[in-house]
Structure 1
């Protein structure tokens, strides 16, 4: 007990008692904190486990890193509109973003994912002849719908162009919606139409914003179990002229599944990253800041290069107190300024710059030439380093993003193979979420109208799945060495690791069925005309070749300078 406490005990015993009580409480809390830290490993404050590293709150590098916890609604849904705006702006104004989006669309969708009916003939009990008849019937009827613009509600695109539009819209906006209304139209065999709706039109109606916010978020409505049951769409895009949240806008609630038939009314294309996430984010969302800064840096370098190309000079004049008159450009002849351009922000009496412009100087004036440091020698190296990080975020090799294959054959092939891992994953996603559901809806209409014979299809879901089973093949990845890769394809088929249909589609995007029919016709014609059919070439596995790999070790791991 110190002297203050002793004095208080004599003159103010009540205050002394409170001080002692407070001191006891502090000691108790310190003891509790010490026990708690010992039980949980001292996370953060005690510097144990992750508290010494990623969860540290005392290290200088982590001291100001504040990361509040938010659910998918807080972290994603509330920020999606701004992400969409900026992603689209970069798509329209940044060359590297446009190249990334269009490159992904070209390699993943290309001319479209083509249907290959793969119904389970064994389960359905179909004979070989019946299976061939059904396959031909499906392909013929599907072409009537998918190969024309009659499948599009707007009448602008065929089914394969709709695939590309849906995919690139998903990349830019994060998600896209496809409605499948039945709209009978003249000269159209099938009534099914595909109506693509941009992401912005799906939003929570203003009169429901503050009503049951847990059930309706960003225009997506769920039930008590969290299952999506409906979407809310505006009849106008928020960026359209005259758009008003409370005025002329009309909102429509569309059930995801039909109440009587259970058919899918709305397809929602997006890639979820978190549980509870109902809306998608643009593919460039994590690198928007880097892309914008890179775009600004590129524009600044370009502007600097243009300005310095004008061979700029500076005119210095004596000071006023020495009797000189500062040069103001007054009195110059028009021909002196021929071909010159105004300096940004300059008035009519100020000097103009131009390509090769010559200007007079007054007595006592001097001319000094600018010493430009353009082109910036570090520009290319810096941009290359940034593009490598951007490419990694997009799951693309740097060579694919920039279309620069300056390394060896093996390095280029490795880059292509790495890219195609992502291409195949996204292609499978597109076929499962867009192509297959639409094909099933079309198949139902074709059977209902009697254009395809599929007995028992509505009796059992298993029979329905057996009839509508399909494969979707897109354009091939191309051949760096056709001989090697065709040999590999033949070996895969010989060892039952693949099929002729799959290999044909992946090598050149063709149809194995069409190829064998055409080949049979060609052989028949050759025989009829008395021509000898050349013996088929026997393909044997070749030894690994290092042809084209003459680069040195340094080039094997990177690009040539």
Structure 2
């Protein structure tokens, strides 16, 4: 079939009404190229009025972001499910903060194993000193581990967060690096540049769609306290001389050519608000049903017991307030009529059904979203495993988009300050990547039955499917070398006190059992204990 080319009328309409011309041309394309998908048919009763516009990623999102952000933040402030979803995600993804474990590529750098371990421990110590200090925050309010939660929560509510590379205000800071977290609303397009096609809601891009710079307001546009004229500052994405990244734009890119992030609650904003209204109505119904109110009918309706109550309690002259133990005065010609609300005994099943849909959209199982574990062990374990996959994905995403770039910024400043040596870091991109190797340890997973799950981990280690270090990191978030060194010290102390033999045969950790050649202690009867038989 010969391809359809735009007609003269199409070109004319494109110059005066581009949106209409595009829809008209696409409609003609659809008419000539009829597919076989039922979901694309327009002659079905369920699909006749469903005609969404096929816009670009920016066209579908940029115009709605201001409303989406404000509604998302309102839900997080006032809706229990939205607030719980954010808090549950933050606790399981970030927790008290992701900790650095340096893992440089010693082989690629030509370093001996011992020298590499010493360099890693020094890098970890320096970074932790910087990260634990509030000097790493340009506002001097939070340390780096707390900033991780701030970035995660900001992205959850607003869709994206911006981190500017700044210099610390303290002279005695471990490293001169400081971070400035910028909320999404402050990155915007100035009115005089509204028609610039290469600026997408404050993000200036090149012809390939890569960010060149970010236009930042000096204050939040919703800061009603300040009545000042807005000042815009354009900050380059990369340094002109150094080529170093100067701004981190943390967001989920769901489509090609998407330049701004979307709040996590965007797909469920409407259903959350409707469920909130439904719950509020049910709560009010239960409260009103619990009231016991007595109505006194008098001859005049003016000199009764409750005639002074309305003005005293702040109600208007025509208002009647119900309440527990309330006495209300009514006149002779007045009577009481009540409207019985509909029976909603199915509130809880319906509520749970809707919350399950919300959980699907947010990738959080119903049991964890509602903190309601009443199913069997297997069902609860499956829910936690599904949640663990989602949280692991979000943690890796946060590391790649925030933690790892910040660690690179820190290493640049630490090397320039002479705190640490990394030959070839600035001259060789391969060696730079080798020096920046790292592992980030997050919060431990939820364990339903510790005995069962630790036995399963022990079997996995014996089979060689897992390492002890992997188990320690996932289950407790600890450090293998530190834990091992501590166990060695504890064993030496207990062996010196005759509380356990000097040579241990670790059970369930895949080690070979060694024969104990030390003197065997006697049993209470004075008979020496038998030596364990050597396994063949």
TM range (shorter): 0.7 to 0.9
Q: CA deviation at 1:457?
A: 2.2
1:230 equivalent to 2:213? Answer yes
Out of 224, 244, 247, which is 1:266 matched to? Answer: 247
Q: CA deviation at 1:306?
A: 1.7
| 1:95 counterpart residue number | 80
**Residues paired across the two proteins, number:** 483
Out of 250, 265, 273, which is 1:284 matched to? Answer: 265
Mark the CA change 1:336 to 1:504 in structure 2 (over 3 Å): closer, same or farther. same
Name the CA distance, whole Å, in 1 between partners of 2:143 and 2:154: 16
1:403 equivalent to 2:386? Answer no
Name the CA distance, whole Å, in 1 between partners of 2:34 and 2:500: 84
| 2:316 counterpart residue number | 347
Mark the CA change 1:375 to 1:529 in structure 2 (over 3 Å): closer, same or farther. farther
1:215 equivalent to 2:198? Answer yes
Mark the CA change 1:128 to 1:74 in structure 2 (over 3 Å): closer, same or farther. closer
Mark the CA change 1:182 to 1:363 in structure 2 (over 3 Å): closer, same or farther. closer
C-alpha deviations, 1:346-401, integer Å up to 9, x for none? 63255443312345677798777x58558831211111111011111111111111
1:118 equivalent to 2:112? Answer no
1:433 equivalent to 2:401? Answer yes
Mark the CA change 1:181 to 1:367 in structure 2 (over 3 Å): closer, same or farther. closer
In 2, are the aligned partners of 1:45 and 1:57 still within 8 Å (CA)? no
Name the CA distance, whole Å, in 2 between partners of 1:481 and 1:340: 59
Structure 1 vs Structure 2 CA RMSD? 3.0
| 1:332 counterpart residue number | 304
Name the CA distance, whole Å, in 2 between partners of 1:58 and 1:298: 39
| 1:194 counterpart residue number | 179
| 2:480 counterpart residue number | 512
1:253 equivalent to 2:234? Answer yes
Higher CA-based Rg: 1
In 1, are the aligned partners of 2:297 and 2:330 still within 8 Å (CA)? no
Name the CA distance, whole Å, in 2 between partners of 1:201 and 1:63: 41
Out of 63, 66, 85, which is 1:78 matched to? Answer: 63
Name stretches of at least 5 consecutive residues in structure 2 with no aligned partner: 1-26, 511-536
Q: How does 1:159-558 map to 2 (within 5 A)?
A: 159-210=144-195, 213-241=196-224, 248-312=229-293, 329-334=301-306, 347-348=316-317, 350-358=319-327, 376-533=344-501, 535-536=504-505, 538-539=507-508
Mark the CA change 1:288 to 1:360 in structure 2 (over 3 Å): closer, same or farther. closer
Name the CA distance, whole Å, in 1 between partners of 2:35 and 2:192: 51
Q: CA deviation at 1:141?
A: 0.9
Name the CA distance, whole Å, in 2 between partners of 1:373 and 1:82: 34
C-alpha deviations, 1:21-77, integer Å up to 9, x for none? xxxxxxxxxxxxxxxxxxx9x966998612xx2112122211211212221222101
1:154 equivalent to 2:123? Answer no
Name the CA distance, whole Å, in 2 between partners of 1:364 and 1:432: 75
| 2:90 counterpart residue number | 105
In 2, are the aligned partners of 1:112 and 1:160 still within 8 Å (CA)? yes
Mark the CA change 1:315 to 1:389 in structure 2 (over 3 Å): closer, same or farther. farther
- Partner SS, residue 188 of structure 1: coil
C-alpha deviations, 1:85-111, integer Å up to 9, x for none? 000011111111000011110111111
Q: CA deviation at 1:225?
A: 1.9
Q: CA deviation at 1:124?
A: 1.2
Name the CA distance, whole Å, in 2 between partners of 1:313 and 1:220: 65
Name the CA distance, whole Å, in 1 between partners of 2:53 and 2:406: 41
C-alpha deviations, 1:150-174, integer Å up to 9, x for none? 2111111111111011001100000
In 2, are the aligned partners of 1:313 and 1:367 still within 8 Å (CA)? no
Out of 19, 26, 36, which is 1:49 matched to? Answer: 36
Name the CA distance, whole Å, in 2 between partners of 1:339 and 1:531: 79
| 1:5 counterpart residue number | none
C-alpha deviations, 1:316-339, integer Å up to 9, x for none? 99xxxxxxx7x7x41112599599
Name the CA distance, whole Å, in 2 between partners of 1:438 and 1:498: 30
In 2, are the aligned partners of 1:184 and 1:190 still within 8 Å (CA)? no
In 2, are the aligned partners of 1:315 and 1:366 still within 8 Å (CA)? no
Q: CA deviation at 1:452?
A: 1.7
- Partner SS, residue 233 of structure 2: strand
Q: CA deviation at 1:313?
A: 6.5
In 1, are the aligned partners of 2:248 and 2:401 still within 8 Å (CA)? yes
Name the CA distance, whole Å, in 1 between partners of 2:225 and 2:329: 56
| 2:24 counterpart residue number | none
- Partner SS, residue 61 of structure 1: coil
In 2, are the aligned partners of 1:337 and 1:358 still within 8 Å (CA)? no
Name the CA distance, whole Å, in 2 between partners of 1:47 and 1:268: 41
In 1, are the aligned partners of 2:135 and 2:143 still within 8 Å (CA)? yes
Name the TM-score, length of structure 2 as normaliser.
0.83
Name the CA distance, whole Å, in 1 between partners of 2:391 and 2:318: 60
In 2, are the aligned partners of 1:44 and 1:57 still within 8 Å (CA)? no
Name the CA distance, whole Å, in 1 between partners of 2:343 and 2:484: 58
Name the TM-score, length of structure 1 as normaliser.
0.80
Name the CA distance, whole Å, in 2 between partners of 1:169 and 1:359: 50
Name stretches of at least 5 consecutive residues in structure 1 with no aligned partner: 1-39, 318-324, 542-561
Q: CA deviation at 1:499?
A: 3.2
